[in-house]
């Protein structure tokens, strides 16, 4: 099976597809939030959603209907008005996903819809795990909070750790420690750049963990 995406029968090449997931509750029920992205020579499709369960294995055979995705679902610069996903052959590393959806027109006054169809083979991975301040390397567990947000029309609740501990917030200009294992970054293993008034970074620690993000402004 080769992955494919079609818009009104016009097939777009797909080079890579990936699902990233995280534990998240919705309406008091435990589940997982997921973010899917398929890309080719240009961005092809991205979408997000929520389903009950404890791990990606619970998605196997699951059907998820997203009827008010907003900006969390789009294809080539256009929003998806409605999308259905069917998951099959799901493991902790891989999933087959079939997608059927309707794409809004670029002109807000145009009510026509294009048809999206796709069969994708996705790599599956959890959201990058971290528990160390990237400024001092100290543990962050005691600073965890619960955050509520909307993902594709689902109101989800997630446990969130800050990037920096309170003592390092506002005083750290570049990451110094790996947020996963706490190892110190080598100076030449960190690159920084401006990102919407904040400091964006990419880094790789001696244990091989790679991270990217932005320091709080």
pLDDT at site 153: 84
Q: What percent of the chain has pLDDT over 90?
A: 49
Between 194 and 90, the more confident residue is: 90
Beta bridge partners of 148: 157
- Judge whether 153 and 66 are in contact, CB under 8 Å: yes
pTM (two decimals): 0.78
- Enter the tokens of residue 11: 């097939």
pLDDT range class, residue 196, cuts 50, 70, 90: low
d(CA 87, CA 18): 13
pLDDT at site 43: 67
- Judge whether 56 and 19 are in contact, CB under 8 Å: yes
Q: Is 2 exposed, middle or buried (0-12, 13-18, 19+ CB in 10 A)?
A: exposed
Q: Which of 5, 41, 37 is nearest to 125 (CA)?
A: 37
* Least confident range of 7-21, 115-129, 144-158, 195-209: 195-209
The tens digit of pLDDT for each residue in 143-175 reads: 999 999 988 888 999 988 899 999 999 888 889
pLDDT range class, residue 24, cuts 50, 70, 90: very high
pLDDT range class, residue 50, cuts 50, 70, 90: very high
Q: Provide mean pLDDT across the span 3-13.
A: 85
pLDDT at site 15: 87
pLDDT at 195 over 60: no
d(CA 202, CA 131): 17
- Enter the tokens of residue 10: 């016009």
Q: What percent of the chain has pLDDT over 70?
A: 96
d(CA 150, CA 39): 24
pLDDT at site 69: 81
């Amino acid at each position: 099976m080769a992955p494919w995406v079609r818009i009104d029968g016009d097939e777009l090449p797909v080079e890579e597809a990936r699902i990233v997931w995280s534990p998240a509750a919705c309406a008091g029920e435990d589940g997982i939030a997921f973010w899917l992205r398929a890309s080719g020579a240009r961005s092809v499709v991205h979408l997000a959603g929520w389903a009950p369960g404890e791990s990606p294995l619970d998605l196997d055979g699951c059907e998820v209907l997203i009827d008010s995705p907003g900006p969390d679902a789009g294809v080539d610069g256009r929003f998806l008005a409605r999308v259905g996903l069917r998951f099959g052959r799901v493991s902790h590393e891989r999933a087959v996903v079939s997608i059927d959806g309707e794409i809004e027109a670029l002109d807000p006054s145009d009510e026509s819809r294009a048809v999206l169809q796709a069969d994708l083979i996705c790599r599956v991975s959890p959201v990058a795990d971290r528990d160390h301040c990237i400024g001092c390397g100290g543990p962050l567990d005691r600073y965890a909070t619960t955050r509520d947000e909307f993902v594709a029309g689902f109101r989800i609740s997630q446990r969130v750790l800050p990037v920096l501990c309170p003592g390092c917030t506002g005083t750290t200009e570049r990451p110094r420690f790996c947020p996963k294992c706490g190892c110190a970054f080598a100076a030449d293993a960190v690159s920084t750049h401006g990102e919407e008034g904040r400091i964006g970074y990419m880094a790789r620690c001696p244990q091989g963990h790679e991270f990217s993000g932005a320091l709080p402004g």
